[in-house]
Every structure is written in structure tokens, then in C-alpha cells.
């Protein structure tokens, strides 16, 4: 799995969808995180899982 940080999770999600990415899960808050952590998952063209995330301390 590859993790990528973004400043704007919703914009990154919409861009991934518009480019035809296979979305594994939509942006959602991670409940057990000490920070406000939001992420979504997708597959790249080789089938690798990529998690795109944003968090605030």
C-alpha cells in the first residue's frame, strides 16, 4: 500500500473519480485516530492500493 497526503481530500477524491480510478472506499473519518484523519482508497493501473489522506492535529 502506498500512502499519499493531500491538503484537500475532497478535491483529490473528485479528481481520482474523474480520471476513472477504481475507488475502494470513499473519504471517511477514521474514528480511532487522535487527529481528524480522513482518507479514501483506490487502485492504481497495476492493482496496487493507494490511500490518500488528510489529517489535522
Q: What is the CATH number of the domain that holds 26?
A: 3.30.720.110
Q: How many domains is the chain partitioned into structurally?
A: 1
pTM of the model: 0.86
Q: pLDDT tier at 57 (50, 70, 90 boundaries)?
A: confident
- pLDDT > 90: what percent of the chain? 77
Print the domain residue range for 45. Answer: 2-56
Q: pLDDT tier at 50 (50, 70, 90 boundaries)?
A: very high
For residues 33, 36, 8, 16, the Cα torsion angle rounded to the nearest 10 degrees is: 30
Amino acid at each position: 500500500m502506498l500512502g499519499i497526503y493531500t491538503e484537500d481530500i475532497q478535491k483529490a477524491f473528485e479528481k481520482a473519480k474523474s480520471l476513472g480510478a477504481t475507488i475502494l472506499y470513499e473519504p471517511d473519518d477514521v474514528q480511532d485516530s487522535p487527529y481528524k484523519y480522513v482518507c479514501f482508497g483506490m487502485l492504481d493501473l497495476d492493482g496496487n492500493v493507494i490511500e490518500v489522506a488528510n489529517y489535522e492535529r
